[in-house]
C-alpha cells in the first residue's frame, strides 16, 4: 500500500490537497523534487501558500518538526528558494 502524503510528518489533509492540486500526488515525488521545487509548484497555482508549507515540506523530508526547520534552517531554505526563483524568473516576497 502506497503511503499518503498526509501520513508524512508536518503534512496533513490540507497540505495533501494543495500538493495534489499542483500535480504532486505521491510521497516519492516530494522526495524526488525536494521541498523548494514542490513549494514553487504549489505557489504557481496557489499564490497564498505560505512559507510554513516550505518548512513543513522540508520537515517531512528530513523527519524534523516544521518549527525546527523554520528556526534552524530558515536562511538556507530561503536562499535555495531565491536561487530557484531566479533560475526560473519568478519573483516572490520571502519576507513572511
Report the predicted TM-score, pTM, of the whole model to 2 decimal places: 0.86
Confidence (pLDDT) at 1? 73
The grid coordinates listed for 70 are 523554520
Q: Residue 71 domain-assigned?
A: yes
Confidence (pLDDT) at 83? 92
Q: Residue 95 domain-assigned?
A: no
Q: Residue 21 domain-assigned?
A: yes
CATH label of the domain that carries residue 81: 1.10.150.20
Spatial CA neighbour of 78 closest among 48, 63, 58, 61? 58
What backbone torsions phi and psi does residue 71 show, to the nearest 5 degrees? Answer: -85, -45
Q: Residue 27 domain-assigned?
A: yes
The grid coordinates listed for 46 are 496557489
Q: Residue 93 domain-assigned?
A: no
When the pLDDT of each residue in the chain is averaged and rounded to a whole number, the result is: 91
> Does the pLDDT at position 96 exceed 50?
no
Mean pLDDT of 26-42: 97
Amino acid at each position: 500500500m502506497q503511503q499518503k502524503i498526509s501520513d508524512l510528518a508536518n503534512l496533513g489533509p490540507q497540505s495533501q490537497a494543495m500538493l495534489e492540486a499542483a500535480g504532486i500526488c505521491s510521497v516519492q515525488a516530494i522526495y524526488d523534487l525536494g521541498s523548494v521545487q514542490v513549494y514553487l509548484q504549489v505557489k504557481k497555482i496557489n499564490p497564498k501558500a505560505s512559507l510554513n508549507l516550505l518548512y513543513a515540506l522540508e520537515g517531512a523530508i528530513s523527519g524534523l518538526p516544521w518549527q525546527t526547520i523554520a528556526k534552524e534552517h530558515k536562511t538556507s531554505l530561503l536562499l535555495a528558494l531565491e536561487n530557484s526563483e531566479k533560475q526560473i524568473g519568478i519573483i516572490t516576497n520571502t519576507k513572511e
